[in-house]
Amino acid sequence: MLKIAIQKSGRLYDSSIHLFKECGIELNNGHKQLKSTAFNFPLEVFFLRDDDIPQYVFDGVADLGIVGENVLLEKNKAIHQVSRLGFGKCRLSVAVPKGMEYHSPADLNGLKIATSYPLLLQQFLTANNILAEIHEISGSVEIAPGIGLADAICDLVSSGSTLFTNGLKEVEVLLHSEAVLAVNHDLPADKQVILDKLLLRINAVKAARNNKYILMNAPDHQLKNIAAILPGMKSPTIVALAEPGWSSVQSVVNENDFWDVIEKLKEFEAQGILVVPIEKMIV
Ligand code: ATP
Ligand code: ZN
């Protein structure tokens, strides 16, 4: 049985549960309990505060955990990241009052900076030769300058609207973070086997998220051109249509290249292009 720690409630909870679901792992009961057991996969889920997860994984109370990279790096435990999960995206940034002139990190010299990330902030200050005072607070960091507690802050940002409503502007990005899977270093062999099974499923879900299945009709004289831009998993599937001179082409395209590919397909006279989401993709 593999023991995984996830956030009890908060920004990572829903996406963590959704990931299990996409992996076909069903849990017995909700997060009102301390833990829950999956009934169709050897997995036990612990619901914890995100800040505690790195320590629990390090101690081996949990074998692995889902946690923001920001928390993982700040807690600085000897556990290792095995997968980036693509949700909980945010930045750890320094922000200063809107009216303050800011040109470079040197402008932070002598300031008092409030943060819940003293280690990551200190690393940034040291790397830039800045002497500033770090004031550690655990929450509502964004109000610190407004109430005279600090001159600047270092906090998580996603849209930036919280900074804006507090009269702050983002001036330095220390880290681009997302949720990751972090694992204890000394996983026994039997647990490693289960982890590999879990990773196979997670990778299939991640690959499916980034790819679309695409079908179209194309004139035969363009098939070479079309096959060249649609590599698919090996090569595209091409099936003759009942109408002479035409074929149906099927392939997989990456989300990043998607619109480029569509434009080219149209140039090569493809018609009736259908784009279908993929549920799982095992490469
Ligand atoms: P807990 O009660 O578990 O300690 P918390 O209040 O520390 O919860 P949340 O605010 O739920 O934590 O954030 C959890 C994680 O979500 C963060 O550590 C970060 O990785 C990610 N995250 C994504 N966007 C944001 C954001 N705009 N602000 C804060 N965290 C964000
Ligand atoms: Zn927390």
Helix pair angle (13-22, 189-210), 10° resolution: 90
| Pair (107, 161) in one structural domain | yes
Q: Which of 15, 75, 90 to mutate to test the pocket of ligand 1 (most atoms within 8 A of CB)?
A: 90
- Tell whether 44 is covered by a domain: yes
Mean pLDDT of 184-198: 97
Cα pseudo-dihedral 274, 277, 281, 283, rounded to 10: 40
Mean pLDDT of 50-59: 98
Q: Write down the mean pLDDT value for the chain.
A: 95
- Give yes or no for residue 158 CB within 6 A of ligand 1: yes
Q: How far is the CA of 274 from the centre of ligand 1 (A)?
A: 38
pLDDT for res 233 = 77
Q: How far is the CA of 114 from the centre of ligand 2 (A)?
A: 16
| Pair (117, 225) in one structural domain | no
pLDDT for res 30 = 64
The pLDDT confidence band at residue 76, using thresholds 50, 70 and 90, is very high
| Pair (54, 187) in one structural domain | yes
Read off the pLDDT of residues 252-267 as tens digits, 9 standing for 90 and up. Answer: 999 888 899 999 999 9
Q: Which of 133, 155, 177 corresponds to the end of one domain?
A: 177
Structure tokens at 23: 């992996």
The pLDDT confidence band at residue 78, using thresholds 50, 70 and 90, is very high
- Give yes or no for residue 49 CB within 6 A of ligand 1: yes
| Pair (193, 224) in one structural domain | no
Tracing tokens 């807690």 back to the chain, one arrives at 75
Q: What is the rounded CA–CA span in Å between residue 174 and residue 79? A: 21
Q: What is the rounded CA–CA span in Å between residue 208 and residue 188? A: 30
From first CA to last CA, the distance across the chain in angstroms is 26
CATH, residue 251: 3.30.70.120
| Pair (259, 131) in one structural domain | no
The boundaries of the domain holding residue 126 are: 90-177
Closest CA to 217 of 194, 188, 243, 183: 243
Q: Which of 156, 177, 198 corresponds to the end of one domain?
A: 177
- Tell whether 113 is covered by a domain: yes
Q: How far is the CA of 265 from the centre of ligand 2 (A)?
A: 47
- Tell whether 283 is covered by a domain: no
At residue 33, does pLDDT exceed 90? no
Read off the pLDDT of residues 119-157 as tens digits, 9 standing for 90 and up. Answer: 999 999 999 999 999 999 999 999 999 999 999 999 999
pLDDT for res 31 = 59
- Tell whether 124 is covered by a domain: yes
Atom of ligand 1 nearest to the CA of 177: 20
CATH, residue 170: 3.40.190.10
- Tell whether 215 is covered by a domain: yes
| Pair (23, 57) in one structural domain | yes
Number of domains in the chain: 3
| Pair (99, 166) in one structural domain | yes
At residue 87, does pLDDT exceed 80? yes
- Tell whether 154 is covered by a domain: yes
Tracing tokens 């698919």 back to the chain, one arrives at 232
Q: Do 23 and 202 contact (CB within 8 A), yes or no?
A: yes
Laid out side by side, the sheet with 2-7 consists of 35-37, 43-48, 2-7, 64-68, 179-183, 80-84
| Pair (231, 102) in one structural domain | no
- Tell whether 56 is covered by a domain: yes
| Pair (41, 107) in one structural domain | no
| Pair (76, 202) in one structural domain | yes
| Pair (82, 104) in one structural domain | no
Q: Which of 177, 193, 224 corresponds to the end of one domain?
A: 177
- Give yes or no for residue 177 CB within 6 A of ligand 1: yes
| Pair (79, 182) in one structural domain | yes
- Tell whether 282 is covered by a domain: no
pLDDT for res 188 = 96
